[in-house]
Structure formats: C-alpha cells, structure tokens
Structure 1
C-alpha cells in the first residue's frame, strides 16, 4: 500500500471538476492541491514549476478521461451487486462470495458499511494497492480495505501494518479490513494493538445476511464495539533518513501526564525492512477537523541504529500546546 502521489491528487481535481480541456482547469484549485500535498508554502513560481514538471511527464487530461470511465463502471457495478445478492438468497442458495471478482467484492463491502450506518467520506480514485473507502461514524474516521483472497490464503501481519500506515496518511483514527478469507495469529494480535478491526469470512457471512434482510443485528457485535475499544489512541507518521528501510510506528497511545499536565505520546517503532536504519526521527503532526496541521514537532529517537525486525520504545511530549487545543 502507498499514499496517493501528487499526480493522482491532481487527477482527482480534473475528474471532480469534469475538466475536458486544459483551458477549463481551475489553476487556483490546482495550486492549493500542490500546497496541501507538500504541506509547505511555496511562491507561485515554484508551484507552477512543479505543475509544469508533472504535465511534462503525464497527460493528465487523457488520464482523467479514462478515470471517468472507470468510475462510471464502478457505479454500475455498485448498483447491480446488491440485487444479485438478494436474488441469490431468494433462490435459497447461499451467495458464493468466492465467485465475486475483486471489483464486485469491494462493491459488496461498500454496501455493507453503508447499510450499517456509516457515511462514505472519500473513495480514492486509485485504489490499487491502496485503501478502498474512508468512512465516518460517531466522529471516527475509518480507512476500509476490502481483500478478495484465494481460498486458503491467510492475511498476514504485513497487510495490517500497511493499512495502519495508509490510514495515518489519510488521518484516520482506525482501520477496517473485510475479507472472504482469514487472518493469521500474528495479524490478529497486531490489529488489536493498533486499532484495526478485522472481519473474516465467518463474520462476513452474517453481515451479508443482515444486509439482504434489511437488519442490523450484527452491527454492534462486529463493527461499533470493535471500533470503540480504544478511544484514547492516536497514530503518528514515522520518518527516517536511511534509504530503502521501512520503519513503522506500530503502536502508540497518548495521555495527559498528571505531573506536568503535558500531552504525552509513547509507543514503539518497528523496523520491518531487511536493512538496519539510523538517524531515525518521528514527526508528530496534530490536525484539526479541517485537516489542517496546527502543530508539528520532530523527535529524534535516541537509539543510534535499529536493526532489521527490531523494536524500540519511545516517549515524548508537547509542552507548547495550549490545553484548550488538545482537549478539542
């Protein structure tokens, strides 16, 4: 999994604004997109050079037209998948979810989360190796990944950590994976620690049945409770300076230190790569509800080198954040 690139973000603007000629492009919106993506303030000349560089390498106009066709196809599949499921149950045949292709399986997952009262906030245009949808309920943003797997294949630890990373990128407090398969023990244990809810094959079938029958009996059992267990959790972005190394923040919690009254973060870093990492630091970024970064601070990790598959704990605090800000 990976975050969206700047090129993909610009394509979203082309699609959203239904741009079919370069003359119709809203350059102010494009410039805002660049600044929001880079999270830095540049002058107009610098931003224009970045945009020109992307346009010199990619034909955004034609790519956006192809994306529109894919979106129309996706909406068509969304409209027919539920009727197919209901027809299957009416004929007293259990739906063979393994027969669904990945696109239809993702459409099924979308129908399920909407049925159980979640609002869809965002559907990435590029969902290959990415999340499928971002949903929202009870002031919680959740990154959802639908995995259509071959029978017998277990979802492993790597997928769990990748979803946590991509959820961090979209500023989602929690993650949700729904699959027609099962998860291995390491994945289950890790998911519990980092607020990722797992719905395997055995839990998915009752949800589909509730969807068909128009009920919500499994909602509290499978979705709400599981996603509300860790209200006092927040997830950070890990940044390293050593090439070709993967260091992830795999678990972190925040609390108010009773002695100092500071907003305090503690957790651990894990090097999931094959090479050691050095000069490791963590960028802690706090966002308001408009997705604006209001505080940012870099914390170096004291350990000089983190070996492959090694974990290291960390603890640091913000002493300059006013109390009314972190309370809200």
Structure 2
C-alpha cells in the first residue's frame, strides 16, 4: 500500500469562501497549501454562497460532527416575485408574481419559520434519493417528492428591505438547514414566490467568517510557516462540549480506547464530554462515575 503523501498536521483553518467555488475545491486548495495528509470540511456551502467554511486537518477531522451539529448564522437576500427550479438565482424562472408584501407582512410570516420546523430540501440538493443525489435526478428533468425533515431555527429576522423586490434576512439555525428552502417557502407563504439571490454564512459554531482567510491569502501564504500560524487547534472544534482534565495514567488508558479517570468538573453523569491532558484533547466520550468512556480518541503528537 502506498502511503498518502503530506504532513501529519492537525487543526482547523477558517476560510472565507468566495462565490463560484465548491466546498470540495476549497478543501483541496487548503490541503495543497498546507501539504496536509488529510482534510475535510464541516458543512457544505453551495458554490455561489460565501462565508465561513471551516476546514479540518488531520486528527481535527474527528471533531467535524460537533461543528456540523453546532448552530450556524446566515445573512441572505431573497428575490421576491420569482420562483426558480433551483430556489436560487442560478436556476430557470418557473413562475412570477407582481404581488409584493409589506415589511409588516414579511415580519409576520417569519414567525412561522422559527423553532422546530419541517423543511423540504430543494430539488437541486445533495439529499440522496434511492442512492442517487437529488440534484443529479433534477438535472435529468425529474421532479421528486422529497421528504420533509426537521430543522431547528433559533431566529429569523428581517434586517433590510432595499426595495420592493428584495429582502435581507438573518437566520441562526441548527444542522441540515437549507436557506434556499426558507426563501422558497417564505415566498409561497407570502403568495409572491421567492428565491435566494445572495447567501453568506457569517459564523459556524466557534468559527467566524471575519477571521477567515481568503483564497488569495491562502495562495500567497501556501507552503509557508505563516500559513501554519493561522491554524487553530483541534480543541476549537470541541468548544460546545464540557472539558474534563485527566491524569497521565487516565490519558494513557484513554489513548488505548479504555475508560480513563478524569477530574470531575461541570459534566454530569451520562454527558458527552472531552478529556484533556496538559491542554491537549485526548478523547471524546461519555462521562460516567469519574471516568470518561471514549468514543473517539485523538492521536496528537
């Protein structure tokens, strides 16, 4: 077996993704620029969307599920009066309407999209239908009955109304949310149709777009110690979980996949938590009676 080339580096690089680039392309660019053996991202952004894309490297890829589960914030512009087949500006216009709701009507309608809602993904989405991606079937002209799925929406606010045709919204939501579905469904509730014109992810869990590097910066700093200096530690990806410190003996047991002794903290019996030794993450697991029972172990040099 040929070994995968690259450095064994672990951590997070926050990228401010430009429009017109896929999330996978960003990961590949980061992997190349850091000469990293392993990389992945936490939460896909549509190619035309911009904003925070957190790229995990090495052992940090094991923390991706907690960033995927974390709350995220989006700022997006809805174009009223037009429904498209993709629910964004890239698609073909299917229906139009001359009706334009007032700001008060929009604010009233937004209440229905807060809390635990049911959301049908866009036809052009990465949801699997009989083992195939929905967007592949949609491209072939097929219309699918996609199953509604739950989404937690923490808040959805009207922040600007530049003109009758456009409304700017801020949304904070949990995992698996489609902003394009919000735009489409809001348009239907208001009786005027709608699609996403512009979308930016402002933050994702502990990661902020304002701290992100541009692709130009990554290119300029590629293969240099300066780029390494922008890496955030693996532990950043565990910010939402309680931390339990462990002894050298506990750390050794955890690294071998066995329950290890931890020093009690704010974690309660049965909580998911992470154990650290000398400030470095050793494992994530379930806290029970003074021990952490590991589900994932980190091998940090």
Q: Same fold (TM over 0.5)?
A: no
* TM-score, length of structure 1 as denominator length: 0.27
* TM-score, length of structure 2 as denominator length: 0.29
- Give the structure with the larger helix fraction: 1
Higher RCO (Cα < 8 Å, 6 or more apart): 2
- Give the structure with the larger strand fraction: 2
